[in-house]
């Protein structure tokens, strides 16, 4: 008797489901529909457990204007630099060659835009997303702030607030695969050419 009952029981909830359950209260208060939150949660889960990102935050409001974002977005810290500008790479290699010392690439906080493969976007909606976010996501950065007087590190022209506005376009497929693309606001030359 106990065995037949067991087949009617639901299997244990998945890790993603647990996160969704836990965030139920905050979703109800959010300006965005629940499915967008679930999408963000799933991307966040993928970043955290598959790509070892840390300091992940879901943003519902623009850090610039405090108006609601077009959809919930994620910011986080990748385990290593997600993007190095080709000119920065050249400068770093040159400096390493000249001094013989290796230059550490400290990861920077990145914006992530969760999307689903079955969705459609428009240039206008991308523009709205970019207009609503700052160059660097708010929050703790592992990068040490350098003083004005200090010698600026090699490649600082392409780091922090000096970098071109960018985000990671995370696209979720039906089978929960996620692909990530670097998307720049404006023309930025490719990394390898």
Partner 1 sequence: MPHSSDLVAEPVPISLVAGRYLLYDIDVVTYLRRTHNICGVLIGGIPQAPQQNVFQGLPLELLPEEAKLLVDQNIGYVVDDAAWHENHYTTLHGKDRQNYLESLRAQGLKASQALNAVARQKQEKALARQAIVRATKSADSEREEIGGASPSKDTDKMTPTEAENPSSRPISPAPSDVSKFSSRAWDASKPLAMTPSTSYNSSSLPRNPNPPPVPIAPASYPLFAHLHARKYFMMPGLRFGCNYNVYPGDPLRFHSHFLATSYGWNEEIAMLDLVGGGRLGTGVKKGFLIGGEDVESEGEGDLVRTFVLEWAGM
Question: Mask of contacts with partner 1, 79-98, x by CB under 8 A?
Answer: ---xx---------------
The β-bridge relationship of strands 110-116 and 166-172 is parallel
The secondary structure of residue 98, as a DSSP letter, is: H
**Residue choice 2, 98, 120, 145 for contact with partner 1 (CB under 8 A):** 120
Nearest CA to 79 among 45, 56, 102?
A: 56
Q: How far is CA 92 from CA 77, 156, 185, in A?
A: 22, 10, 24
Which is closer to partner 1, CB of 131 or CB of 162?
131
Q: Is residue 51 a contact residue for partner 1 (CB under 8 A)?
A: yes
Which is closer to partner 1, CB of 23 or CB of 46?
46
DSSP secondary structure string, 22-70?
HTHHHHHHSSS-HHHHHHHHHHHHHHHHTS--EEEEEEEE-TTT-SEEE
- The CA distance from 137 to 64, in Å, is 10
Q: Is residue 4 a contact residue for partner 1 (CB under 8 A)?
A: no
Q: Total residues contacting partner 1 (rule CB under 8 A)?
A: 34
**Residue choice 17, 121, 138, 176 for contact with partner 1 (CB under 8 A):** 121
In whole angstroms, how close is the CB of 41 to partner 1 at the nearest point? 18
- Under rule CB under 8 A, which residues in 151-170 are in contact with partner 1? 168-169
Question: Mask of contacts with partner 1, 16-45, x by CB under 8 A?
Answer: ------------------------------
In whole angstroms, how close is the CB of 29 to partner 1 at the nearest point? 28
Nearest CA to 146 among 136, 137, 156, 132?
A: 156
For the record, the structure tokens of 140 come out as: 């703790």
Report the interface residues with partner 1, using CB under 8 A.
Answer: 51, 82-83, 115-124, 126-127, 130, 168-169, 171, 179-193
């Amino acid at each position: 008797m106990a065995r037949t009952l067991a087949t009617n029981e639901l299997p244990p909830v998945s890790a993603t489901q647990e996160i969704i359950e836990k965030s139920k209260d905050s979703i109800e208060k959010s300006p965005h529909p629940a499915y967008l939150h679930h999408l963000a949660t799933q991307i966040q889960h993928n970043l955290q457990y598959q790509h070892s990102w840390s300091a992940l935050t879901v943003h519902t409001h623009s850090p610039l204007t405090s108006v609601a974002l077009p959809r919930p977005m994620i910011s986080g810290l990748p385990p290593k630099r997600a993007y190095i500008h080709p000119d920065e790479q050249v400068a770093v290699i040159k400096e390493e060659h000249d001094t013989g010392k290796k230059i550490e690439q400290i990861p920077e906080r990145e914006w992530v835009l969760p999307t689903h493969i079955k969705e459609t976007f428009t240039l206008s909606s991308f523009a709205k997303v970019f207009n609503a976010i700052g160059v660097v996501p708010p929050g703790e950065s592992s990068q040490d702030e350098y003083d004005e007087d200090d010698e600026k590190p090699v490649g600082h022209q392409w780091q922090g607030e000096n970098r071109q506005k960018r985000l990671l376009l995370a696209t979720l497929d039906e089978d929960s695969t996620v692909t990530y693309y670097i998307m720049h606001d404006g023309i930025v030359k490719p990394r390898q050419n």
